[in-house]
């Protein structure tokens, strides 16, 4: 197998760093109301570049202030890692993983080390686990997850253990749940999920329980895990079905669900009720949101036509538009720094022909600095309009005869590639082929960028309405 499903859906997707993922419960106070005025001194602009363009990678803020960037698709899976320094806006090579992977999870443990679990490798799904120690800048092999998996969630528990739930692959697949104990380097099975979940979002509640919501082919399902019993309980469903979203624990003890749809909503564990809050200005897909130190929540981009940056105030329950990214991107890890700055690292963009490609650029959001506008030339754009990174707009020109403007770059339009059906492996397919290719490639850029491999076939079977026997592919 070459490549396929991008998600860390979870965290962000699935994502999934200490400062940007739903796995680690925030403890900061709620934020004051945020003004939507573009006259404030804000930056949404370039902040250096990764050494390697990548997506479906993870980014974790380390105790030393650097950001650990791990694996991903280039588009082929990579074992490389990087250490990005927000102070100098430069990235340096880190030690390589033992196994190349993407769509894995990264969880920062209580000692500051980072646990990388499973994912997709060059030859298929992985069970291997690796642990990064910042003090020695080294990786060590950890006990493997008892099953191969991707699309799972990994949640740090109050006692320092890690709960890995759901996902795709192996015996039990979307219902299997295991707990990892760092002190003994062991995995034990805990209560299985009543209903299979994959590519869901997870967050630890103030009382230590874990809430899982949504995922898969977009569901409103919500389930709670209790550490003392190891049992799962199905709770009130979300008001909106969603996947590829993020959960945030607010200082009130409630949980905010953000992304996939414009509506945001809060869950109250005390009453088992979801309450609608407010809408984002645009719909953000594949764009993990992150909580800043003041309790406000930021998200940006998430599609190839959306560069909007939005900020949520828990005090008012309202979203404010705060500017725009200079580079459209999705599947990008998002990291909040102690200063309040927020980093958007890599992800996927589009080429001049409209194909999805890995991105190396890094952008930063900052409310506290003087903004220096970017230029069309600096961003490599030559058509259409883009943000200048400071709340303004740049006009980059028009394309010549026979050319089209895609992602603000002039080029010829590539012909549609629909040479085989979604249940057959082969070359890349175009999102314009049918509804199923649009569904799969919205979540897994590789399938419409490089190849339609066995994981793409598996995703078509899972996410599309396909008559039996469907796309039967063994994990």
Angle at 154 between CA 245 and CA 176, to 5 degrees: 100
Cα dist. 427→57, 69, 450 in Å? 23, 29, 7
Q: What is the pLDDT of residue 353?
A: 64
Predicted local confidence at residue 246, as pLDDT: 96
Report the pLDDT value the prediction gives residue 465, as an integer from 0 to 100.
60
pTM: 0.76
pLDDT, tens digit, 9 for 90 and up, residues 280-336: 999 998 889 999 999 999 999 987 778 999 999 999 999 999 889 988 888 899 999
What's the mean pLDDT when you consider all of the chain? 84
**Positive or negative: CA dihedral 457, 462, 466, 471:** positive
Q: Which of 60-69, 193-202, 285-294 has the highest mean pLDDT?
A: 60-69
pLDDT of res. 136: 97
For the ranges 237-241, 355-359, 396-400, the one whose mean pLDDT is highest: 237-241
**Residue ranges covered by each domain of the chain:** 43-371, 373-406, 415-475
What CATH fold (topology level) applies to the domain 43-371? Neuraminidase (2.120.10)
Contact 390, 373 (CB under 8 A): yes
**Stronger pLDDT, 196 or 50, i.e. the higher one:** 50
pLDDT digits (tens, 9 = 90+) for 4-62: 333 333 333 333 332 333 333 332 333 333 333 333 445 788 899 999 999 999 999 99
> What separation in angstroms does the CA of 158 have from each of 191, 194, 210, 234, 422?
18, 23, 10, 22, 43
Q: Which pLDDT value is given to residue 10?
A: 32
So what's the pLDDT on residue 369?
Answer: 59
Share of residues in the chain with pLDDT > 70 (%) = 84
Residue 33 and residue 427: Cα distance in Å, rounded?
50
């Amino acid at each position: 197998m070459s490549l396929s499903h991008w998600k860390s859906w979870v965290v962000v997707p699935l994502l999934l760093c200490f400062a940007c993922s739903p796995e680690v419960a925030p403890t900061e106070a709620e934020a004051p109301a945020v003004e939507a005025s573009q006259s404030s001194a804000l930056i949404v602009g370039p902040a250096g570049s990764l050494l390697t363009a990548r997506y479906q990678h993870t980014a974790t803020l380390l105790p030393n202030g650097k950001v650990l960037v791990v694996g991903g698709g280039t588009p082929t899976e990579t074992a490389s890692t990087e250490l990005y320094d927000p102070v100098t806006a430069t990235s340096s090579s880190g030690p390589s993983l033992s196994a190349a992977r993407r769509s894995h999870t990264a969880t920062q443990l209580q000692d500051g080390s980072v646990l990388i679990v499973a994912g997709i490798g060059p030859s298929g799904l992985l069970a291997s686990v690796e642990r990064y120690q910042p003090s020695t800048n080294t990786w060590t092999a950890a006990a493997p997850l008892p099953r191969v998996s991707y699309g799972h969630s990994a949640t740090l528990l109050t006692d320092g253990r890690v709960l890995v739930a759901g996902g795709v692959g192996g015996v039990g697949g979307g219902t299997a749940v295991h707990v990892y104990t760092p002190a003994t380097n062991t995995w034990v099975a805990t209560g299985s999920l009543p209903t299979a979940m994959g590519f869901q979002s997870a967050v630890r509640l103030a009382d230590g329980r874990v809430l899982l919501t949504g995922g898969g082919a977009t569901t409103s399902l919500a389930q709670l895990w209790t550490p003392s019993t190891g049992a799962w309980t199905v709770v009130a469903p979300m008001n909106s079905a969603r996947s590829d979203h993020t959960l945030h624990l607010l200082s009130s003890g409630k949980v905010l669900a953000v992304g996939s749809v414009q509506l945001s909503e809060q869950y109250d564990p005390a009453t088992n009720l979801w309450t609608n809050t407010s809408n984002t200005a645009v719909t953000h897909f594949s764009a993990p949101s992150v909580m800043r130190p003041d309790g406000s929540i930021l998200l940006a981009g998430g599609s190839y036509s959306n560069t909007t940056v939005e900020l949520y105030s828990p005090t008012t329950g309202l979203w404010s538009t705060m500017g725009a990214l200079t580079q459209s991107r999705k599947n990008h890890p998002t990291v909040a720094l102690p200063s309040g700055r927020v980093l958007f690292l890599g992800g996927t963009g589009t080429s001049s022909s409209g194909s999805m490609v890995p991105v190396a650029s890094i952008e930063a959001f900052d409310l506290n600095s003087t903004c220096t506008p970017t230029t069309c030339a600096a961003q490599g754009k030559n058509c259409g309009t883009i943000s200048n990174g400071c709340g303004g707009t740049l006009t980059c020109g028009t394309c010549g005869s026979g050319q089209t403007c895609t992602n603000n770059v002039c080029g010829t339009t590539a012909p549609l590639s629909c040479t085989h059906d979604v249940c057959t492996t082969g070359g890349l397919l175009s999102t314009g082929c049918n509804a199923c290719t649009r569904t799969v490639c919205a979540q897994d850029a590789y399938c419409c960028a490089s190849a339609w491999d066995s994981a793409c076939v598996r995703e078509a079977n899972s996410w599309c309405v396909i008559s039996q026997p469907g796309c039967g592919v063994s994990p």
